[in-house]
Amino acid sequence: MTDQSPKTPPSIVLLRHGETQWNREGRYQGQHDSPLTLNGIGQIRAIAETLRPVIEELGRCQLWSSPLARTRQSVSIFCEQLGLSYADVLFDDRLMERSYGRWEGLTMGEIAARYPEDVKLEQSDRWNFAIPEGGECFADVARRLRNWLNEIPNDMPVITMAHGGSGRVLRGVCMNLKPENIFAFNDPQSSAFVMSETTTKTVQAAPQYLRAFGCADAGLGVRI
């Protein structure tokens, strides 16, 4: 990425919301919403327990979240599981998922049938293609996330609940990666990422916690 790297907090713990009904159906959500499944609730509880020693070691943290309903529900479950205060969570529109415009609520098959020209344009320039009818391009998402990073206090660690698309772009912004490297991220839904100025660590929800909380699987990767 060509933009200057933003200033960042000493550590960022980045999470993705749990599985939703539309995730299960393979539908693009963007800035529309669908509720968490029981599997998604279990995924958040499992990654919270897996991260417990990390959060305890970090000490006092700021809590941030996208304001969309699925991330609000996920961060509420995360806080309750770890005894953190949901009242302390700060919500920011810049953490929201990419707006997918007229694709939202559709499967990839439905998009290809209705809007084949969109698919061709997306494939030709995936980073800069803005989906019609209010959609964003990934470059737009990177700009708003960089602005968020530059404006938040950087004197304490941050825990952030985001989305599959916006989350991987945030990782790329923090690590100053090229778009092709950002698109290569495809970690399960119940993953977390602990990032500092010098290191990035991927944390997968521990299998024993996934089993304990009734999860059918570790969750989807980022398919979009």
pLDDT tens for residues 98-136?
A: 999 999 999 999 999 999 999 999 999 999 999 999 999
Instruction: Give a yes or no: residue 77 inside a domain.
Output: yes
Q: In which band, very low, low, confident or very high, does the pLDDT at 153 lie, cut at 50, 70 and 90?
A: confident
Ramachandran angles phi, psi of 168, nearest 5° = -70, -30
Instruction: Give a yes or no: residue 111 inside a domain.
Output: yes
Burial class of residue 21 in the structure, from the number of CB atoms within 10 Å of its CB (0-12 exposed, 13-18 middle, 19+ buried) = middle
The residue from 97, 104, 122, 136 that is catalytic is: 97
Q: In which band, very low, low, confident or very high, does the pLDDT at 3 lie, cut at 50, 70 and 90?
A: low
What CATH number did the domain enclosing 111 receive?
3.40.50.1240
Q: How many CA atoms lie within 13 A of 40 on its CB side?
A: 22
pLDDT digits (tens, 9 = 90+) for 158-178: 999 999 999 999 999 999 999
Say whether pTM exceeds 0.85: yes
What is the count of structural domains for the chain?
1
The residue from 17, 104, 122, 163 that is catalytic is: 17
Instruction: Give a yes or no: residue 6 inside a domain.
Output: no
The first and second tokens of residue 127, run together, are 């980073």
Instruction: Give a yes or no: residue 160 inside a domain.
Output: yes
Instruction: Give a yes or no: residue 87 inside a domain.
Output: yes
User: What is the DSSP pairing of strand 191-196 with strand 11-16?
Assistant: antiparallel
The whole-number pLDDT of residue 222 equals 60
Active site residue 97: yes
- Here the contacts of 170-176 (C-beta below 8 Å, separation 24 or greater) are 170/14, 170/95, 170/145, 171/14, 171/195, 171/200, 172/1, 172/142, 173/1, 173/5, 173/6, 173/142, 173/145, 173/146, 173/149, 174/5, 174/6, 174/8, 174/12, 174/149, 174/200, 175/200, 176/1, 176/5
pLDDT digits (tens, 9 = 90+) for 61-107: 999 999 999 999 999 999 999 999 999 999 999 999 999 999 999 99
Q: How many CB atoms lie within 10 A of CB 31?
A: 19
Domain hosting residue 172, numbered range: 11-212
The first and second tokens of residue 143, run together, are 């700009």
Instruction: Give a yes or no: residue 157 inside a domain.
Output: yes
The whole-number pLDDT of residue 223 equals 56
